[in-house]
Structure 1
Amino acid sequence: MDDRANVTHDDTLLTIGAFAARARLSAKALRLYDRLGLLAPAHVDEATGYRYYRAGQVERARLVALLRRLDMPLARIAEVVHAGGDRAAGLLDAYWADVEARVAGQRTLAEYLRGRLTGRDSDVYGKFAVETVDVPEQVVLSESRHVLADELPTWIAASLGRLEEAARDCGGVTAAPFVVYHADVSAESDGPAESCVPVADEAAARAWSEERGRTRRTRVRVEPAGRLAYTRITKAQVAFPQILAAFGAVEEWIAAQGLTVTGPCREVYFADWEAAGPEDPVCDVAFPVR
């Protein structure tokens, strides 16, 4: 609602200085909030350009200030203050969930970097429990792309979404989707990476790929049965580069056990990514071994 609406200039209005003191904000901040549509003056004198505020606007001014203390960007503050009620609370909840996810990711990154800086990588690796699992032969729909590390999260989500939708015409998804790294993916190296979704009906999958998969170079292949050495990680640990600690831990465990890596490393996504919180397990970092 426009704070200027239906207001007359009378003695109940506060100058910007008086209002700033009452709201515990600076006049500079109030001018910025006005420019961004967060807190408009109740009245602006046409002759002098002086801004005046109602005492009743103090609550909104303090709300804006408190949201800023959460480091909320001004554009998101505008959404909150204009929403009001339960919707505003929901927007705040969504923002804070993003903050917690970012902090959780930064925490795991700090642990990873601490190990590298001190030369005690093994201390970091020791926090990961590594196990093995036998995986049966699987028919997979796959999509490959050369992709850099900062592009990877968006591409993984999009490609797995496309493949899971295609799987509906191929007998359905039979196991957790996974992403195979055929070469290094980093800020400088672009893989390629391959998104894979196991499906039930090989013939239907090949027909789908031939008819509708050419745009994305979707292909069908058979993933052979084998054994994976893996460690389970949380959503916060999936982000690059902290996920490298998980890969390092599995590689160190494989060497210690006298096993041999037989194929490219992978990430197996067994949980609902959107529903998971930062500390929820979502992914297995794995290597095929014998």
Structure 2
Amino acid sequence: MTDPTPWMSIGEFARACRLTVKALRYYDREELLTPGRVDPHTGYRYYAPAQLATALRIGLLRRAGVSISSIRRIVDDPARSADVLAVERARIEYEAERALRSLALVGSLEAIAATALPVRLRHIDDQVVLWREGSADADDLDRTVAASIENLLVDAAVLGVDTDAPVVGRYPVVLEGTVDFGVGIEVAADVGSEAVLMPGGLFAAVDFTGPASLLPVAYHALFAELAARGVEAVGPVREYYLTDPAEVGAENMLTRVVHHVSDPDSKPSTSPQ
């Protein structure tokens, strides 16, 4: 029996849906759009005209910046399209806003980077903190940490903790792949198992006034000073948020970045810094 389907070669199909052959092969590997037929002898891919609508949908979603994983959910379950697209829309809007903020900061970056930020040695006492830990992809760390701090402050208020106390974040030196982090706020009252001890000691510290996106300038000054002192920057690094950006604005936010250094008058500690 003759197959009535008017099969299209991969080249014909690519032209019809305004995609490249390379893109179609990639979508095949990702199992987003598999050929309707593959010749068992030549391995040539063929597509049915009915697949054009799916190809066009995928192409439009990719041009809009929708992730492959989200497209897969839409293709596998069209009934969930609205929910998936709502999440993607929020992500794209956030990334667009972040890009615009970064562009706006470029003009002031050179002046800030040229400013010699002093690095001082500071002794930090042991602190009991209401502590929360989390993990995030390195590219999404800023947003995840901000959400974790918001949740931390809500929990602190419920427990009767003074939410005006500085918030501290703890991060690894290398930001790559999945990043584990912690955020906390100092507590004066006993909150039981909700609190942990953050050990003190001697730290090299640099104070930076400006938006969080420019904190790498402070890190550069801190790591350069550590290198000059012969101290290896192995982390973790702490960030103390000394002002509330909601009150002073992101441009005037004061952050203290610190890294532990050996104190010749103290015994080595096995506690996490």
* Class of the TM-score when normalised by the shorter of the 2 chains: 0.5 to 0.7
**1:163-178 → structure 2 map (5 Å cutoff):** 164-165=154-155, 168=158, 170-171=159-160
Cα shift readout 1:191-242 (whole Å, capped 9, x = no counterpart)? xx973378xxx7xx41x3xx4145x3279xxxxxxxxxxx9xxxxx964227
Q: Would you say 1:266 and 2:242 are equivalent positions?
A: yes
Is it true that 1:32 corresponds to 2:26 in the alignment? yes
Q: What TM-score does the superposition give when structure 1 sets the normalisation length?
A: 0.50
Structure-2 change in CA distance of 1:98 and 1:156 (3 Å): closer
Provide, for residues 163-204 of structure 1, a one-character-per-residue CA deviation record: whole Å limited to 9, x for no partner: 644654x35x675785258xxx9979xxxx973378xxx7xx
Q: Give the structure 2 partner of residue 212 of structure 1.
A: 193
CA distance in 2, matches of 1:243, 1:108: 16
Q: Does 1:115 align with 2:104?
A: no
Aligned counterparts of 2:21 and 2:40: Cα–Cα separation in 1: 19
> Who is 1:68 aligned against?
62
1:240 aligns with 2:213: yes
Specify the SS of the correspondent of 1:41.
coil
CA distance in 2, matches of 1:120, 1:240: 12
Q: Which of residues 75, 87, 101 is equivalent to 1:94?
A: 87
* SS, match of residue 47 in structure 1: coil
Q: Which runs of 5+ in 2 are unaligned?
A: 114-127, 175-181, 200-208, 218-239, 256-273
- Is 1:179–1:266's contact at 8 Å kept on the other side of the alignment? yes
1: distance between equivalents of 2:77 and 2:166? 39
Secondary structure of the residue aligned to 2:59 is: helix
- Residue 285 (structure 1) aligned to one of 224, 234, 253: 253
Contact kept? 1:23, 1:58, Cα under 8 Å: yes
Once the two structures are TM-superposed, the CA of residue 58 in structure 1 deviates from its matched residue by 0.4
Per-residue Cα deviation, 1:107-127 (whole angstroms, up to 9, x for no partner): 22222220233x499xxxxxx
Quote the offset at 1:40 in angstroms: 1.1
Alignment of 1:123-272 (within 5 A): 142-143=130-131, 154=144, 157-158=147-148, 161=151, 164-165=154-155, 168=158, 170-171=159-160, 179=167, 195-196=184-185, 205-206=189-190, 208=191, 211-213=192-194, 216-217=196-197, 239-241=212-214, 266-268=242-244
Other structure's SS at 1:217 match: strand
Provide the C-alpha distance between the structure 1 equivalents of 2:34 and 2:44, rounded to a whole number of angstroms: 13
Q: How many angstroms does 1:243 deviate by?
A: 11
TM-score, normalised via structure 2 length: 0.53
Percent sequence identity is: 26
- Mapped contact 1:270–1:283 kept (Cα < 8 A): no
Summarize deviations over 1:39-69 as a string: whole Å, max 9, x none: 0111222233222211111011011111221
Could you say what the CA RMSD is over the residues aligned between the two structures, in angstroms? 4.6
Give 3-state SS (helix, strand or coil) of 1:195's partner. strand
Choose from 89, 96, 103 the match for 2:96. 103
- In the alignment of these two chains, the number of paired residues is 196
Which position in structure 2 is the counterpart of 1:222? none
